[in-house]
Amino acid sequence: MHIPFNLPHLTGKEAHYMYQAVYDGKLSGNGVFTKRCQRFFEEKYGFRKCLLTTSCTDALEMAAMLCGIQPGDEVIVPSYTFVSSALAFVRAGAKIVFADSMKRNPNIDAEQIEALITPRTKVIVPVHYAGVACDMDRIMEIAEKHHLLVVEDAAQAIDSYYKGRPLGTIGHLSAFSFHETKNIISGEGGMLGINDERFVRRAEIIWEKGTNRAEFFRGEVNKYGWCDIGSSFLPSEVVAAFLWAQLEALDDIQTKRKSLWNKYYELLKPMAEQGCFRLPDIPDYATNNAHMFYLVCNSLAERTALIKKLKDNDILAVFHYLSLHSSEYYKGKHDGRQLPECDRYADCLVRLPMYYELGLEDVERICASYY
């Protein structure tokens, strides 16, 4: 029986809530389900304000606008990440300064950040890879010292914590993804988290195409007009309704995913101790939200052989990011520094199947296929 890499999970209530949204007659966004989802995050995790978006990329683009990025400004981003982490700021004219990963896990090496700061630096973008926290105390300390803004790329980090603080609530701004490969999904979808009061009103205006329309519908102004730059970032109520069904089941989804993650770790630990590969590293300051289970092989050749062996057993495992600093688009703009840890993860990291419907017996079969 084929084991895919990912299978979108349905709780069973998605169609019901989508039907409800359709027949409520409010489809264009910022309706009942949008507000319900945003309030869920604000109350459960303590965000000052949350705004649903059509994708995490859109949330990052909103963050770039809120940070006031101008052509020539510099933004520090890990090279081992999805293109959106950098692209959102490039579109605003920024120069991306790529940082290397840590030796112990793919997150940005916080101790290398300060050496990359120049008078043009404006933003640091820590990416919480696999939902595991970056060293946020150190990053915020550096940002405060140099008067920089921090935008957490928390695309994979729903319901994960740093020293007891929810990821996405520590930086000035944050971005989440509800893409179908994430723990909580809406097909496509995302969210901007706002933790600094000075950005709240402008974020809402940018979200509503540069108008103060949201204030008008709350009765705070007697008319609305074009106030600022912006775009149509908010999703439809149908998307928000789907997301609400997922959020209602968050605890159940997380419990199941963590049981799968722990089973992988238990079965693969003996082989890791023999030096066959490295298992995911969870620092003491971080929690694990079971977004993914990955291995770090000893070489590109070993990873290629492992993926092939699993495929021969009808199991789909995949690698992940290629180094952004050596990408076709950016290699001519990079400053030439070597980023060896990033390149090692690009060559050696492999992701194993992880989704709600995966059974513990499936995990056993996947792990047995390694031998």
Q: What are phi and psi of 36, to 5 degrees?
A: -65, -45
The predicted pLDDT at position 210 comes to 83
The predicted pLDDT at position 218 comes to 66
- Whether the pLDDT of residue 211 is over 90: the answer is no
For tokens 């929690």, what's the residue?
A: 287
Task: Collect all residues with Cβ–Cβ distance below 8 Å to 336 and sequence separation of at least 6.
Answer: none
Question: Sorting pLDDT into bands at 50, 70 and 90, what band is 215?
Answer: low
In DSSP terms, 121 is beta-bridged to: 74
- Whether the pLDDT of residue 212 is over 90: the answer is no
- Whether the pLDDT of residue 220 is over 80: the answer is no
The mean per-residue pLDDT over the stretch 11-22 comes to 96
The predicted pLDDT at position 219 comes to 65
Coil, strand or helix: which one is 353?
coil
Q: Percent of the chain beyond pLDDT 70?
A: 97
pLDDT tens-digit series, residues 221-275: 656 778 888 999 999 999 999 999 999 999 999 999 999 999 999 999 999 999 9
Q: Can you list the domains of the chain with their CATH numbers? A: 14-248 (3.40.640.10), 250-368 (3.90.1150.10)
pLDDT tens-digit series, residues 345-359: 999 999 999 999 999
**Rounded alpha-carbon distances, angstroms, from residue 325 to 64, 329, 336:** 20, 9, 9
| Average pLDDT of the chain to the nearest whole number | 95
**Rounded alpha-carbon distances, angstroms, from residue 94 to 116, 131, 168, 366:** 15, 26, 22, 43
The predicted pLDDT at position 229 comes to 87
Q: Mean pLDDT check: name the lowest of 12-16, 112-116, 206-210, 346-350.
A: 206-210
The predicted pLDDT at position 226 comes to 80
Q: Percent of the chain beyond pLDDT 90?
A: 89
pLDDT tens-digit series, residues 60-117: 999 999 999 999 999 999 999 999 999 999 999 999 999 999 999 999 999 999 999 9
- pTM attached to this predicted model: 0.95
* Beta-strand runs (E) in the chain: 49-53, 74-78, 95-99, 121-124, 149-153, 161-162, 165-166, 173-177, 190-194, 277-278, 293-297, 318-319, 349-352
- Provide the CA 29 distance to its chain's centre, in angstroms: 23
